[in-house]
Structure 1
């Protein structure tokens, strides 16, 4: 993870390093696969009600746009598509005077359209996103490991390719279960596709574990290897290739070579 939980950061320094809008609540740096949510804690004056739910453990965040119906554009669009676009979402909470506490890395569970008011006190449609801490999803996805481990590669691919936006019409409990199933399915699908071989160098897994040959998952487009992604965005690698893809001087060229050989005819 790029940031330390509960550590306080100057917002200006975050933008100095990564870019992105310095004023908007949803900031999307152009040169990094990152989305920053800066929660000011003062959004109710614009008809927003952001915060954590004690009932389901989700963080609910109203989309941007202070007047008229909110639409899936700009920051709202980025949040909606963050999984398929390979972008990590980081939540910061304002402490005042430009200081923000890093809360957690989030993953989209779903969204709903609700009625609210804009800054002119006119009724309008508000997009309310539901996010969950990534580490919670990852930990609880292990509960589905046994189920997913024995599915066919075709079944795993189908589950891993589910629509990651989880639109309206489903309860949050169902959406939470789906994201856990999808996380587990992605892991086992990529391993099954690799067939016990590193998808970068082609060599067999370096050793066996109690659960089978050891390979690591690497995200071809994301800043991190954590969180949901589409199956074609992730490969299984040996530890050596994983380190090369993350740390070597030729990592960019090596990554492009792998993309060409695996995913492009």
Structure 2
């Protein structure tokens, strides 16, 4: 929190990259954690007091969110929309403590800005990396104090319009066999067809083409493996299969 008495403003920064505060949107309310990195927080401490009394003080409050280091996204002018409440969150030393959470809403006439889905994914990846470094006890401790109601928000994402004929041909070429692990599809869908998923060897997001030479059919496990690891040896194997199938088809 950063206050300017000269301008009568209070800037709130919710930095999702540091993993200390559990700030979250629940529908149209932003639940913002107060100041204080160690020990129980006080509602009368520094800018916690300012935010709690912002209406009486005539302070204008602005909200920014950070999903990538040094990339500040302005969300808009907000106001305290309900009574602050306490919940348990870990402090900077991973010790459980009580924090103050302030329910905030955007001023009337403003809508919650759409966040790029890639920013949400980046936040999740950053948090997962930090969690993996914790010992089992700390992970269990953090999980025990996790909010029961998860945060949610509107996002915008780029959707590629895949060619239905390419998708269908790739699946028919596979004949019910995953083209990576070479095992039968793990189950059949409601219509009795072997369940396989289309995969673009060079991802569309990376400039890959939606062509039969770049499309294969994989079981769900291998599909997830390709999107998690994308190993060179697997890419080369699939490229060789797709090229051969293309020659045969054409």
Q: TM-score scaled to structure 2, two decimals?
A: 0.40
Q: Which structure has the larger Rg?
A: 2
